[in-house]
Amino acid sequence: MIHRVVACAHANIALIKYWGKQTALGNLPATPSISLALDKLYTETIVTREEKGVDEFFLNDSPVEKTTKDRLLKYLNFWRSESLLDGTFSVHSSNNFPTGAGLASSSSGFAALATALGKFSNKKLNRSELSVLARRGSGSAARSIPGALAAFPVSANPSARRLLPPEKISWGMVIVVVNNAEKETGSSIGMELSRKTSPYYKSWIAQAHKDYQNILAVIKKDDFTKVGEITEANALAMHACMIATRPALVYWNGVTVDIIRSAKQWRENGLEVYATIDAGAHVALLARLDDLNKVAKKAKKIEGVEKAVICKPAGGSRVIKWE
Question: Can you give the binding site for ligand PMV, defined by CB under 6 A?
Answer: 14, 17-19, 33, 106-107, 138-140, 187-188, 278-279
- H or E segment to which residue 101 belongs: none
Backbone angles phi, psi at 276, to 5 degrees: -145, 145
Minimal distance in Å, beta carbon 307 to ligand PMV? 20
Minimal distance in Å, beta carbon 169 to ligand PMV? 18
Bridging pattern class, strands 273-276 and 149-152: unpaired
Q: How far apart are CA 120 and CA 5, in angstroms?
A: 8
Minimal distance in Å, beta carbon 102 to ligand PMV? 7
If the CB atoms of residues 6 and 132 are measured against ligand PMV, the closer one turns out to be 132
If the CB atoms of residues 134 and 296 are measured against ligand PMV, the closer one turns out to be 134
Largest Cα–Cα separation, the chain: 62
If the CB atoms of residues 90 and 99 are measured against ligand PMV, the closer one turns out to be 99
Q: How far apart are CA 43 and CA 223, in angstroms?
A: 31
Minimal distance in Å, beta carbon 29 to ligand PMV? 8
If the CB atoms of residues 103 and 308 are measured against ligand PMV, the closer one turns out to be 103
Minimal distance in Å, beta carbon 48 to ligand PMV? 26
Query: Where does residue 147 fall: left (phi above 0), alpha (psi -120 to 50 degrees), or beta otherwise?
Result: left
Minimal distance in Å, beta carbon 24 to ligand PMV? 12
Residues in Cβ contact with 252 at an 8 Å cutoff, skipping those fewer than 6 apart: 239, 277, 281
Residues in Cβ contact with 93 at an 8 Å cutoff, skipping those fewer than 6 apart: 43, 44, 45, 46, 57, 58, 59, 60, 109, 112, 113
If the CB atoms of residues 107 and 262 are measured against ligand PMV, the closer one turns out to be 107
Under DSSP, the state recorded for 28 is: -
Residue type, 32: P
Under DSSP, the state recorded for 167 is: G
Interaxial angle between packed helices 292-300 and 254-268, expressed in degrees from 0 to 180 and rounded to the nearest 10:
130
Residue whose Cβ sits closest to ligand PMV: 140
Minimal distance in Å, beta carbon 204 to ligand PMV? 12
If the CB atoms of residues 18 and 57 are measured against ligand PMV, the closer one turns out to be 18
If the CB atoms of residues 192 and 291 are measured against ligand PMV, the closer one turns out to be 192
> 13: helix, coil or strand?
strand
